Amino acid sequence: MSADTWWKNGIVYQIYPRSFQDSDGDGIGDLDGIRARLDYLASLGIDAVWISPIYPSPMADFGYDISDFYDIDPHFGTLDGFDALVGDAHSRGLRVILDFVPNHTSDQHPWFVQSRSARSDPRRDWYLWRDPAPDGGPPNNWLSNFGGPAWTLDPTTGQYYCHSFLKEQPDLNWRNPEVRAAMYEVLRFWLRRGVDGFRVDVLSQIIKDAQFRDNPPNPDFTPGQDPFHRWLMLYNTDLPEVQQIVVEMRRVVDAFSDTHSSRVLIGELYLPLSRLVAYYGLNARGVLEGVQLPFNFQLIATEWQAARIDRLVRDYEAALPAGAQPNWVLGNHDKSRIASRVGPRMARLAAMLLLTLRGTPTLYYGDEIGMTDVPIPVDEVQDPFEKNKPGMGLGRDPQRTPMPWSAASNAGFTTGAPWLRLADDWRTLNVEAQSHDAGSMLALYRRLIALRRAQPALKRGNYEALDAGDEVLAYARNGEGQRLVVLLNFGATSRPLSKALVTRQSIVLASTDAARAGFIKGPLVLAPYEGVVIST
Ligand code: GLC
Ligand code: MG
């Protein structure tokens, strides 16, 4: 694999560090824990790990509130430990991607402490400060994703500061060139330490309207919905000016790319397709100068039906600018787990879909063993989203529970008390148990990843939509002299497939059903919820 295209050919695996592996018995996962599991990750066949934030943080939003961009939080380890992790990962051929959180800092970050100290402070303009509205209330109607207004009054200086998330997460002022320079320096610091790229948090929101205008009402808003959706985010998300920043970030990162290692930017972007693809940064010369991988969350949002997914894949393929690398995601630390959204059987189909579509797949830790959302009792809730808007199903603790490694105490995650409870079924649903079971989800993931690595058409072939009738999602991947056909039966009944799709010479390379493989002798009948990859 040529170095400059690892992020095109490879598979990304997201680690939520608090919950992956604890090494020191404090019940919280850490860097040494990840390091101890590198052999597992390498054996899975993934190419890169993206680690959610590990920087010093008061943990109001579990690391997404950063108080120092240049260090490691003591819960997670030390800079030396980080260097050791990067070294060990690289020696196994694994890349390391960090989370970069440019939209906001912690309110404990020295920059904000200074900024709020006085209106005349040189760092005042590093954040978004506004006078109160004439009635003394917030300057405009912008809302915080986590509930309430996006503005908090600072009594000492008599102004409001803007926060798109918690009041403990004040938004930086990206119109200020000093802020940009300081944040680009943060990128360089970690690039020099050898990181292979960044997943950029809430990228679309980092620039706000210069006039701070009110957002217009959302005509589709229905009472009972999360009140956050009352207004359309016209003036605080996806402004044209963000594109310039994206280009600047890309230049910073590109300066560290060479023939041995290309560095990648992955943007967190919850946007409609037409806007999402803008973040590839296609310029007038036809060059893509934005983020290489604007996260594509279509499979998280969609209704789980063959026809829907067929449509969205084709729409996505059609919307991509020339030369753009597609990417696909089934889940992350903010969304209900795939096995809970679609059920355990469909989750097997989802795995095959993710690993056979055209584009870089990102796996969320634990999905490879079919982890489900874990209900968290009210008195154990950790996530501020749930605490601020209780009972609306917004809390993210359920998808952030500790990884069950084995049937040892606390599932081998910790020798202490886990910071978040384990799933009830950890004694049976764990990595160790599934390692010995050819029918397990883990075994399926291993087969699919190995197949993707071995078949150039899966990595680099084109995408050709096929028609295999109702409830069967069908497509071919053609390239490098190969034609692979993927057939996914979303239905609860068996499906005989037409001879046009499956010939006498066809070989089943993989099935969601562990028992099936080899030459197809008669007509192929897909079992309920079965998916197959066929070489024709
Ligand atoms: C992103 C993160 C989420 C976090 C938020 C604020 O959406 O994925 O976990 O709470 O940004 O930083
Ligand atoms: Mg620990």
Closest-CA residue to 370 (of 408, 316, 328, 426): 426
pLDDT tens for each residue of 103-133: 999 999 999 999 999 999 999 999 999 999 9
CATH architecture for the domain at 462-535? Sandwich (2.60)
Q: From the centroid of its chain, how far is CA 452?
A: 20
- Beta strands 12-15; 360-364: pairing state: parallel
pLDDT of residue 474: 97
According to CATH, where is 3.90.400.10 located in the chain? 110-162
CATH architecture for the domain at 110-162? Alpha-Beta Complex (3.90)
pLDDT above 50 (res 481)? yes
Under the banding of pLDDT at 50, 70 and 90, the label for residue 2 is: very low
Distance CA(205)–CA(235), nearest Å, equals 9
Percent of the chain with pLDDT over 90: 93
The residue ranking higher by pLDDT, 249 or 520, is 249
Contact 485, 84 (CB under 8 A): no
According to CATH, where is 3.20.20.80 located in the chain? 5-105+177-448
Ligand 1 site, residue 385, Cβ cutoff 6 A: no
**From the CA of 15, how far away is ligand 1's center (Å)?**
14
Round the average pLDDT of the chain to a whole number and report it: 96
pLDDT of residue 4: 59
Atom of ligand 1 nearest to the CA of 64: 12
pLDDT tens for each residue of 355-381: 999 999 999 999 999 999 999 999 999
Number of H helices, E strands in the chain: 16, 19
pLDDT of residue 515: 84
Closest-CA residue to 354 (of 445, 280, 272): 445
Q: What is the C-alpha end-to-end distance of the chain, expressed in Å?
A: 25
pLDDT above 70 (res 1)? no
Neighbouring residues of 106: CB distance < 8 A, sequence distance ≥ 6: 57, 58, 60, 65, 66, 67, 112, 168, 169
| CA dist 186 → 179, 191, 306 (Å) | 11, 9, 43
Note the ligand closest to the C-alpha atom of 297.
Answer: 1
According to CATH, where is 2.60.40.1180 located in the chain? 462-535
pLDDT of residue 305: 97
pLDDT above 80 (res 410)? yes
Atom of ligand 1 nearest to the CA of 333: 9
Ligand 1 site, residue 166, Cβ cutoff 6 A: no
Give this prediction's pTM.
Answer: 0.97
Q: Nearest residue CA, atom 9 of ligand 1?
A: 334
Distance CA(318)–CA(276), nearest Å, equals 13
CATH architecture for the domain at 5-105+177-448? Alpha-Beta Barrel (3.20)
Ligand 1 site, residue 100, Cβ cutoff 6 A: no
pLDDT tens for each residue of 184-199: 999 999 999 999 999 9
**Average of per-residue pLDDT across 238-258:** 96
